[in-house]
């Protein structure tokens, strides 16, 4: 009995010659686990699956090894932990059209919160006269937002980690509406403390509001869009501030008899819109938009994980440098916005509306800059270079703005405010995204929380110090201090070592997921072919006895 040049089609081994003596007992001469089918002329032997290896297996094994090496490298370089039971092949990655509606809602209720932050400070002289309080008390209507954020950001961030996006957004929106309605009942001159209570509730709610955008971007949008989404939500805060700068001086006039009517219109309008937004529910999507988000969902962080993340960030040297630079830069803007009414009136008496228009110019061009820089970051990923240049030019613009005030020219003042807004406000999305890159995969709400704590601490300090400097040394000295601080932030951000871990991890994990999916398809097809051949076996022709 013999076989000549028989090759199995899907396997790397071939059988070129097999001779079996015809006088052997067929049932004893061939040992297989299944009794062969046979007749007088042929003997059919099934293939034994464990003993025949597919040629594609070695190639797949090599590719898998490279993929696993990539995952190990990602875990080493970014500290992103991939669960042992995580499967790239079974996870469903999906984006939803409703994400754009979610984004619009977040933009609206962020804008309404920021509008209430500035609405008393921009008419500080009117509020001071109407309620018979000091400038310091009026300043605290804005400073209360900074203080409550410093105190509450860590508990609120932990709440979001435990309860999710939906409940955090709900508390933020409802609290904003409640605080706005309380201020409706503070219209009499002896009810300043009721207004302060409503402002405090809005301030507490804003802590929930500010942590929503970063989580919304990571849970609803793909990696290539996250910088743009972050910029859009920063844009929302700037638009809200612009609304406060523009609408408040227009609605509340300097005429003592009309102040109450103006405040009534302003407070009822704000409360009504806040109530409408509070009805909308913002939640997390059923399926993640990226593989990184899927991995982060699969990891249960818990209480100890949250505390450990905070500890890691506080000892992260490069991140803390960026926190300092960001705090200096944005803290200057917070203080400058709070004192803008007093600064403008120092050079242009009885020009509350001009103060509002200057603030509006700052914000609108800053909002445009946020979108521009968000696009640049998504395309180039040059976070450090962009941050350095924007900080540097912001310092120059602030210096020019201070010198222009000395000319008492409103036309030059508006031109200077355009450049100041573009570079000072344009830094905010850059700082957020740069921090997200160098701290990946730490939770966005904790990273953003620490960043904002620094801005609020510096904002309170700069507001109080520069207000005193303006009183004792003159407006020019106090205003030039803002420019010096911006140049200081440039020096600090230049010392940060750039390491774009988030961009690297998203790119690598997406590529690994594609490779593993292709390998899975190859193995499935190969296994199907193997099963087809398995049932055929080798057919051996029996030679006639000699």
Going from N- to C-terminal start, the domains of the chain cover 96-290, 305-523
pLDDT, position 320: 92
Listed ranges 68-77, 158-167, 317-326, 469-478; the one with the highest mean pLDDT = 317-326
Model pLDDT for residues 388-404, shown as the tens digit of each residue: 999 999 999 999 998 88
Per-residue pLDDT, averaged over 271-288, amounts to 77
CA distance 446 to 284: 18
Listed ranges 7-21, 183-197, 225-239; the one with the highest mean pLDDT = 183-197
Model pLDDT for residues 441-460, shown as the tens digit of each residue: 777 778 888 888 888 889 88
pLDDT, position 194: 92
**Cis bond before residue 441 (omega within 30° of 0):** yes
pLDDT, position 326: 92
Helix, strand, coil tally for the chain in percent (to 5): 75, 5, 20
Q: Kindly list the distances between the CA atom of residue 238 and the CA atoms of 262, 366, 376, 409, in Å, as whole numbers in the listed order.
A: 23, 7, 19, 26
Q: Which residue has the higher pLDDT, 327 or 23?
A: 327
Fold agreement (96-290, 305-523): yes
Average pLDDT, the chain: 75
Model pLDDT for residues 459-512, shown as the tens digit of each residue: 888 888 888 887 777 778 878 888 899 999 999 998 888 776 676 666 666 666
Is 97 a residue whose pLDDT tops 90?
A: no
Is 346 a residue whose pLDDT tops 50?
A: yes
CA distance 384 to 502: 14
CA distance 403 to 426: 22
Is 51 a residue whose pLDDT tops 90?
A: no
CATH superfamily of 305-523: MFS general substrate transporter like domains (1.20.1250.20)
| This prediction's pTM | 0.63
CA distance 146 to 168: 19
DSSP 368-408: HHHHHHHHHHHHH--HHHHHHHHHHHHHHHHHHHHHHHHHT
Among 63-67, 137-141, 368-372, 486-490, the range scoring the smallest mean pLDDT is 63-67
Model pLDDT for residues 530-546, shown as the tens digit of each residue: 444 444 444 444 344 44
pLDDT, position 541: 41
Q: Are 323 and 458 in contact (CB under 8 A)?
A: no
Is 418 a residue whose pLDDT tops 50?
A: yes
CA distance 409 to 358: 13
Model pLDDT for residues 145-161, shown as the tens digit of each residue: 888 988 888 888 888 87
pLDDT, position 512: 64
pLDDT, position 396: 92
Per-residue exposure over 269-303, b if at least 16 CB sit within 10 Å of its own CB, e if not: ebbebbbebbebebebbeebbbbbbbbbeeeeeee
Task: Provide the CB-side half-sphere exposure for 8 (13 A, CA).
Answer: 24
Residue 457 is given by DSSP the state H
Tell me the three state secondary structure of residue 498.
Answer: coil
Q: Which residue has the higher pLDDT, 408 or 40?
A: 408
Is 425 a residue whose pLDDT tops 90?
A: no
pLDDT, position 366: 83
Q: Out of 1.20.1250.20, 3.40.50.150, 1.10.3720.10, 2.70.50.60, which CATH number does the structure's domain 96-290 have?
A: 1.20.1250.20
Is 200 a residue whose pLDDT tops 90?
A: yes
pLDDT band of 83, cuts 50, 70, 90: low
pLDDT, position 543: 42
Is 136 a residue whose pLDDT tops 70?
A: yes
CA dihedral 481, 427, 446, 492 (to 10 degrees): -50
pLDDT, position 343: 85
């Amino acid at each position: 009995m013999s076989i000549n040049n028989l090759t199995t089609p899907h396997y790397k081994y071939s059988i070129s010659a097999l001779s079996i003596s015809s006088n052997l007992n067929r049932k004893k001469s061939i040992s297989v686990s299944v009794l062969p089918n046979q007749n007088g002329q042929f003997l059919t032997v099934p293939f034994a699956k464990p003993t025949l290896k597919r040629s594609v297996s070695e190639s797949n094994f090599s590719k898998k090894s490279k993929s696993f090496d990539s995952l190990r490298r990602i875990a080493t370089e970014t500290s992103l932990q991939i669960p042992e039971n995580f499967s790239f092949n079974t996870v469903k990655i999906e984006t939803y059209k409703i994400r754009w509606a979610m984004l619009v809602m977040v933009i609206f209720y962020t804008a309404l919160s920021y509008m209430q932050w500035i609405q008393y400070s921009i008419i500080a002289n009117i509020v001071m006269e109407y309620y018979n309080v000091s400038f310091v008390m009026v300043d605290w209507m804005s400073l209360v937002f900074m203080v409550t954020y410093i105190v509450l950001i860590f508990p609120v961030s932990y709440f979001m980690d435990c309860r999710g996006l939906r409940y955090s957004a709900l508390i933020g929106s409802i609290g904003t509406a409640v605080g706005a309605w309380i201020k409706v009942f503070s219209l009499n001159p002896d009810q300043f403390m009721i207004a302060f209570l409503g402002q405090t509730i809005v301030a507490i709610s804003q802590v929930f509001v500010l942590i929503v955008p970063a989580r919304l971007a990571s849970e609803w949008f793909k990696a290539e869009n996250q910088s743009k989404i972050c910029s859009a939500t920063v844009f929302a805060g700037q638009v809200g501030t612009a609304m406060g700068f523009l609408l408040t001086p227009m609605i509340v006039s300097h005429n003592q008899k009309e102040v109450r009517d103006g405040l009534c219109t302003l407070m009822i309008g704000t409360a009504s819109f806040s109530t409408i937004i509070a009805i909308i529910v913002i939640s997390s999507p059923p399926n993640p938009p990226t593989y990184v988000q899927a991995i982060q969902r699969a990891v249960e962080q818990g209480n100890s994980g949250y505390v450990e993340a905070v500890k890691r960030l506080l000892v992260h040297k490069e991140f803390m440098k960026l926190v300092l630079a960001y705090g200096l830069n944005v803290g200057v803007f917070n203080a400058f916005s709070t004192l803008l009414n007093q600064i403008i009136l120092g050079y242009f008496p009885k020009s509350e509306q001009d103060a509002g228009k200057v603030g509006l110019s700052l914000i609108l061009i800053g909002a445009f800059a946020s979108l521009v820089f968000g696009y640049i970051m998504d395309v180039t990923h040059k976070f450090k270079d962009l941050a350095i240049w924007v900080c540097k030019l912001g310092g120059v613009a602030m210096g020019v703005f201070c010198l222009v005030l000395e000319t008492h020219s409103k036309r030059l003042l508006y031109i200077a405010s355009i450049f100041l807004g573009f570079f000072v406000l344009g830094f905010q999305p850059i700082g957020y995204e740069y921090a997200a890159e160098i701290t990946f995969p730490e939770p966005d709400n904790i990273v953003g929380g620490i960043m904002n704590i620094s801005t609020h601490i510096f904002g309170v300090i700069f507001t109080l110090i520069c207000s005193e400097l303006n009183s004792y040394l003159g407006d020019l000295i106090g205003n030039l201090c803002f420019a010096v601080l911006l140049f200081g932030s440039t020096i600090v951000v230049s010392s940060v070592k750039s390491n774009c871990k988030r961009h690297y991890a998203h790119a690598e994990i997406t590529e690994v997921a594609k490779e593993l999916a292709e390998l899975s398809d190859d193995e499935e097809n190969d296994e199907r072919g193997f099963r087809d051949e398995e049932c055929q076996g080798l057919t051996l022709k029996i030679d006639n006895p000699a």
